[in-house]
Structure 1
Amino acid sequence: MPPIPADFGPVLVVAAHHDDEVLGCGGVLARLARAGHDVHVAILGEGATCRLDDGDEAAKAALVRLQQEQARRAAAILGARAVHFGDLPDNRFDSLPLLDVVRRVEALVREVGPGLVLTHHHGDLNVDHAVTARAVLTAARPLPDRTTRAVLSFEAPSSTEWAFGLPGSPFRPTLFVDIAEHLQAKLEALAAYGDEMRPFPHPRSAEAVRHLAALRGATAGRTAAEAFEILHWTM
């Protein structure tokens, strides 16, 4: 990726769900953290309401605690400095006014002061991903008083590639980042999520993640890479 100047400030990834941050850009997060950048992970969704029966509040609270602990373990493996959790309703981000989501992200941007922000592709099949992408683009727009100088979108296996025929542009990567030395850290971080991973040939399997890294790497003449669309970049 283009060299990030020292004055770029922290790096912030804004993901809709637990494990999206690792699937989409775990290798890059590990690479940036090991290069000395302060990496922050933000997960907007609470991750429980669509999985359990309504009214089972104790079970939902237990699941939220488990997922947050898994996210902290994954972040530690990647070298992230902090994890920020939201409470947006799982797979129901579109039930909220977009302005409410934008304000959540704006608060994160003010708190972290990132120079680089990474988030979902706006055309993903998962509605939470699409809402997150739109909110980040709004919250991190390049205003004179904002710290953000670059925004990238990543691909999330089992969502980006499954948006068959949906309106809007498909994911067309314009940046390929070598993660050959950091692929193992990405896989270990994904393993921290336990049952979130699936057996091959599901896209969210360790084997599929390796294959995608190899494909994106081969596209750019590397053995392993992650792919991104550059939404804006100011040097």
Structure 2
Amino acid sequence: MKNKKVLVVAAHPDDEVLGAGATIARHTSEGDEVRVLILGEGVTSRADISVSEKKKALEQLKKSAIVANKILGVKHVTLAGLPDQQFDTVPLLSINHAIEKVLREYSPELIYTHSPTDLNLDHRKTVESSMTAARPTKSSSVLETRVFEVPSSTEWNFILPEVFRPNLFVRVSEKEFGKKMKALSAYGVEMRTFPHPRSTEYIRALATVRGGQSGLSLAEAFCVLYRRTP
């Protein structure tokens, strides 16, 4: 079977690991090529640090993104540098173009991105632009778009009428899940203690629940928004 070309479009550094880290590890272990596009820089919204500290934090976050994705087997990470938690101030066309550039250069068949039901506005802008950039034209390489859940955003949506309803459960091994947790450790400053959703205990529990829902030991859940045959 032909190996897939996969693109993960994330709003912020660590979203790609939280949402699909073990699945990414499975893709790369099976010989698929995975590239990651992170749209936001993940720092500018922090009001508790100075400008110089933000610059230092930004550089560290970039390094963490490279290290984390290398653990998952990803060799190519692009950071677009959009302002954190301010995607609504950026023209949608600019976000579309950032994604379209990678699509032209890479021609992926499968895209992973955020759920349109997330509480976080940057996440919703990301999936909106991803679907626009990968719209099903005759020349588009994209055959399928899957959206993932991000702890502390997807399940905290108490205001939107729609909720995340997974229709695809990807079996992941203990080894692949271990790579996800190791990759998250590279984003150590972003992790929290239980019972916060971005804690080790919660993330493990979520994988167990998603596995239990689908007759698997461990799983990551997705919703397929669009799929067509070659």
TM-score normalised to the size of structure 2? 0.95
CA apart distance, 1:51: 1.0
Alignment match of 2:5 (pick from 6, 10, 19): 10
Residue 199 of structure 2 aligns with which residue? Answer: 205
Residue 107 of structure 1 aligns with which residue? Answer: 101
| 2:217 is equivalent to residue 220 of structure 1 | no
More displaced 10-residue stretch of structure 1: 95-104 or 144-153: 95-104
Q: How does 1:1-235 map to 2 (within 5 A)?
A: 5-6=1-2, 9-52=4-47, 56-167=50-161, 169-181=162-174, 182-235=176-229
Taking every aligned residue pair, what percent have the same amino acid on both sides? 46
Alpha-carbon contact 1:176-1:226 (below 8 Å) kept: yes
Distance (whole Å) between structure 2 residues aligned to residue 81 and residue 148 of structure 1: 20
2:7 aligns to what SS in structure 1?
strand
Alpha-carbon contact 1:52-1:60 (below 8 Å) kept: no
**Please, what is the CA RMSD of the aligned residues?**
1.4
> For 1:15-38, what per-residue CA distance to the aligned partner results, in whole angstroms no more than 9, with x for missing partners?
000110000000100000000011
Unmatched runs of 5 consecutive residues or more in structure 2: none
Distance (whole Å) between structure 2 residues aligned to residue 35 and residue 11 of structure 1: 12
Distance (whole Å) between structure 1 residues aligned to residue 202 and residue 172 of structure 2: 16
Unmatched runs of 5 consecutive residues or more in structure 1: none
- Aligned length, in residue pairs: 228
Distance (whole Å) between structure 2 residues aligned to residue 165 and residue 76 of structure 1: 36
